[in-house]
């Protein structure tokens, strides 16, 4: 299979490219500078430009691009950038693919599990309506941007990614060092559901969806557990206590609108993934946490 990946150097994109090449796929990557190698394709999403000729004969595109919303305070300007960085990339790819008769017929577009907002204990599959939080609004516009490709008959999958458990980077990037120091604990009440998936299973799920007969939103989730249980499992895996809770008011003060992603409850389930035949490598929380700790140790030598 010939696959083009946007966001190929990121937390998920880098292992995805490696996994695709390991199974024998021909992989090219989109870059925002002049190409330096045969497998690089130039694009400028902010200017609406892409080398469409380089997409001819490609089977699928995986777009993982987007500004990290948790890396800086969500000021009004930052919110606009979070939204525009997603909508512009998705719009450019969708419009480009829609206008090609010999281009990719599958587009796997990143999205987020924040689509549902704070829904308490409700079980959420892909048929549930979108929420009303800032991030639910981002997902609404982000996924809608792929409309031209859908209308043109391209199989579009919206990868509603949950908390990705990995040894470095991602949403756990700032939490793991605290846990390893024995200073971690539940966040807020700790009763909110956190949907999660390990990095290897996130990558495997994307690879699986490249060939599966699935379209529309897909919850990239293995399971949803209470926040206190997720934090506790990770602390046990690192042989550390998890006894220092962080009150909700402190999280809201520190994170602003991003606090909805930490304190909100999203009990998402992987209905479409399971129905398509995907089975995760790390199927329960303790197994996942143990893998994270081992991978972290291996990463640090």
How does pLDDT run across 168-212, given as a tens digit for each residue?
766 677 677 777 777 678 889 999 999 999 999 999 999 999 999
Listed in sequence order, the residues at least 6 apart from 253 whose beta carbon sits closer than 8 Å to its beta carbon are none
pLDDT tier at 74, thresholds 50, 70, 90: confident
pLDDT tier at 228, thresholds 50, 70, 90: very high
What pTM was estimated for this model as a whole?
A: 0.94
Q: Residue 276, SS3? A: coil
Q: Where are the domains of the chain?
A: 2-168+196-222+266-282
**Burial call 192-220: b when 16+ CB within 10 Å, e when fewer:** bbbbbbbbbbbbbbbbbbbebebbebbbb
Average pLDDT over every residue of 153-165? 96
The closest of 247, 129, 118, 250 to 195, measured between CA atoms, is: 118
Find where tokens 């525009």 sit: 84
Terminal alpha carbon distance of the chain: 35
Confidence at residue 213, expressed as pLDDT on a 0 to 100 scale: 96
160 vs 238: which has the higher pLDDT: 160
140 vs 254: which has the higher pLDDT: 140
The closest of 113, 135, 61 to 219, measured between CA atoms, is: 113
Q: Mean pLDDT for the chain?
A: 92
pLDDT tier at 258, thresholds 50, 70, 90: confident
Confidence at residue 204, expressed as pLDDT on a 0 to 100 scale: 98
Asked if the model's pLDDT at residue 247 lies above 80, the reply is yes
Average pLDDT over every residue of 45-50? 94
pLDDT tier at 301, thresholds 50, 70, 90: low
Average pLDDT over every residue of 11-40? 96
How far CA 61 is from CA of 40, 89, 105, 263, 276, in Å, comes to 13, 12, 8, 33, 20
Written out in words, the top-level CATH class of the domain with range 2-168+196-222+266-282 is alpha beta
Alpha-carbon distance of 83 to 141, in angstroms, equals 8
Average pLDDT over every residue of 246-252? 82
9 alpha carbon, distance to own chain's centre: 14
How does pLDDT run across 85-127, given as a tens digit for each residue?
999 999 999 999 999 989 999 999 999 999 999 999 999 999 9
Across 29-43, 82-96, 236-250, least confident range: 236-250
Confidence at residue 75, expressed as pLDDT on a 0 to 100 scale: 86
Confidence at residue 261, expressed as pLDDT on a 0 to 100 scale: 80
pLDDT tier at 243, thresholds 50, 70, 90: confident
Across 1-5, 226-230, 244-248, 280-284, least confident range: 244-248
């Amino acid at each position: 299979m010939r696959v083009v990946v946007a966001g190929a150097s990121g937390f998920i994109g880098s292992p995805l490219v490696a996994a695709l090449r390991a199974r024998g796929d021909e992989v090219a990557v989109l870059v925002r500078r002049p190409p330096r190698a045969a497998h690089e394709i130039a694009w400028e999403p902010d200017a609406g430009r892409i080398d469409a000729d380089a997409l001819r004969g490609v089977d699928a595109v995986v777009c993982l691009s987007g500004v990290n919303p948790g890396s800086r305070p969500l000021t009004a300007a930052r919110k606009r950038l979070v939204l525009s960085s997603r909508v512009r990339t998705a719009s450019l790819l969708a419009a480009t693919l829609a206008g090609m008769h010999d281009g990719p017929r599958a587009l796997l577009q990143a999205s987020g599990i924040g689509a549902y907002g704070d829904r308490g204990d409700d079980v959420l599959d892909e048929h549930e309506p979108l929420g009303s939080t800032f991030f639910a609004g981002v997902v609404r516009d982000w996924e809608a941007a792929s409309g031209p490709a859908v209308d043109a008959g391209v199989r579009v999958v919206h990868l509603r990614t949950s908390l990705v458990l990995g040894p470095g980077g991602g949403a756990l990037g700032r939490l793991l060092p605290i846990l390893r120091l024995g200073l971690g604990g539940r966040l807020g009440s700790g009763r909110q559901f956190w949907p999660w998936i390990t990095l290897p299973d996130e990558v495997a799920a994307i690879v699986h969806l490249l060939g599966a007969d699935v379209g529309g939103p897909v919850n990239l989730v293995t399971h949803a557990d209470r926040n206190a249980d997720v934090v506790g499992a990770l602390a046990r895996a690192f042989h550390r206590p998890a006894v220092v809770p962080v009150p909700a008011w402190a999280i809201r003060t520190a994170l602003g609108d991003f606090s909805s992603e930490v304190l909100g409850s999203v009990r998402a389930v992987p209905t479409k993934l399971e129905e398509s035949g995907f089975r995760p490598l790390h199927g329960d929380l303790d197994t996942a946490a143990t893998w994270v700790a081992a991978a972290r140790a291996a990463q640090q030598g």
